[in-house]
Amino acid sequence: MKGNMKRQPTPLQKIITLLLALIIIAACGGTAVTPADDSTVATMVANTLQAYQAQATPTSDSTTTPIPTLTVQPPATLTSTPPVPSVRIEFLKGTTQTVLTGQIQAGQTLSYAIWVSAEQPMVIQVDSANQDAKLSIRGANGIVLLPASSNQSYWQGLAPTSQDYFIDLQGGSATVGFSLSLTVMARIRFAAGETRTVLKGLTEGGYAVSYVIHANQGQKMDVTLSVPPDSAALSIWGLDDGQPYARAQSGITDFSLDLPTTQDYVVAVVPFGGTRVEYNLTVRVK
């Protein structure tokens, strides 16, 4: 699979950002929402990503397929030396997202490092007053995912190789507070010859649990979420096309679709009201 590296936010990214906002609104109460315009989207992103967290934990149940491993465990040392000291980002065990907050001075650069495996989708967003703080992203091998010259505060794409990635924040014209959100989705891979897997987990902290699976045009995807009544639902969308196929605020727990295009599909388990929900998630693609 080729890495998906975007330097400029596109209408597609705005759609994805809006959808993430819809997910967290459902997580906070499951109420219906109406689409937001572009001016509203920018104010929703940081709060959305703050609630876009958690990954299920493997169980020993022999009737289920173990959950895909989220390989964001840091190595003992950095694999290259960035121009400024880097703060190692460490995810809590079993989570897919973290949020860092602080202050950045005018003209200052803050650097962060995280280990990400090849083909894992990343969504990185920095929010600050007047969007004054900007991002640049590079790999330990020297590959640049987002140059500082792009003057952007948002990036999404696939990690092209397993390595450290350095995320630099550049301060603007004044000292401002910032919120840096990083989401790394868990990739589902079927065992050889299999078309179905069952994932068990908890929505720890009441945060959504997100997965991604690659499927081809014309294949049929069936997803079933087993949870206590009115406790959680599914959100499903295309990572490349940004098209929503299921929305949690509609209370969907069973989903079936003949897939319209070949791409990565995101499957999110969204608890209602910020609750801790135990779930079984069955995913079949054939």
Residue 72 has pLDDT above 90, yes or no: no
Residue 81 has pLDDT above 90, yes or no: no
Structure tokens at 19: 């959808």
One-character DSSP codes across 27-74: HTT--------HHHHHHHHHHHHHT----------TTSPPPPP---PP
Cα pseudo-dihedral 158, 5, 127, 106, rounded to 10: 130
Give me the pLDDT at residue 90, please: 86
Reduced to 3 DSSP states, what percent helix, strand and coil does the chain have, rounded to the nearest 5? 15, 40, 45
Bigger pLDDT: 169 vs 93: 169
Position 17 confidence tier, pLDDT thresholds 50, 70, 90: low
Position 67 confidence tier, pLDDT thresholds 50, 70, 90: very low
Decide: helix, strand or coil at residue 129. helix
Structure tokens at 253: 């727990």
Position 249 confidence tier, pLDDT thresholds 50, 70, 90: very high
Maximum distance among all Cα pairs of the chain, rounded to whole angstroms: 57
Give me the pLDDT at residue 134, please: 96
* Residue whose pair of structure tokens reads 């009115």 in the numeric block: 230
Give me the pLDDT at residue 85, please: 72
* Residue whose pair of structure tokens reads 């014209």 in the numeric block: 173
Give me the pLDDT at residue 36, please: 43
Give me the pLDDT at residue 206, please: 76
**Around Cβ 166, how many Cβ atoms within 10 Å?**
21
Residue 217 has pLDDT above 70, yes or no: yes
How far, in Å, CA of 100 to CA of 154, rounded? 15
Contacts of 84 (CB under 8 A, 6+ apart): 109, 110, 111, 168
Give me the pLDDT at residue 160, please: 95
How far, in Å, CA of 26 to CA of 3, rounded? 30
Cα angle for residues 205, 236, 121 (degrees, 5° grid): 75
Instruction: Report if pTM > 0.85.
Output: no
Query: pLDDT of 169-212, one tens digit each?
Result: 999 999 999 999 988 899 999 999 999 999 998 887 777 888 99
Query: pLDDT of 141-171, one tens digit each?
Result: 999 999 999 999 999 999 999 999 999 999 9
Structure tokens at 48: 């959305």
Cα angle for residues 36, 252, 99 (degrees, 5° grid): 55
Residue 31 has pLDDT above 90, yes or no: no
Radius of gyration of the chain (CA): 18
Give me the pLDDT at residue 27, please: 53
Query: Is-contact 5 157, C-beta < 8 A?
Result: yes
Structure tokens at 76: 């003992």
* Residue whose pair of structure tokens reads 């959504």 in the numeric block: 208
Q: Mean pLDDT, the chain, as a whole number?
A: 79
Give me the pLDDT at residue 203, please: 84
Position 37 confidence tier, pLDDT thresholds 50, 70, 90: very low
Give me the pLDDT at residue 19, please: 55
Residue 60 has pLDDT above 50, yes or no: no
Give me the pLDDT at residue 18, please: 54
Residue 9 has pLDDT above 60, yes or no: no
All domains in the chain, ordered by first residue: 11-68+186-285 (2.60.120.380), 86-184 (2.60.120.380)
Average pLDDT of the segment spanning 35-39 = 44
Point out which residues pair with 154 in neighbouring strands. Answer: 125
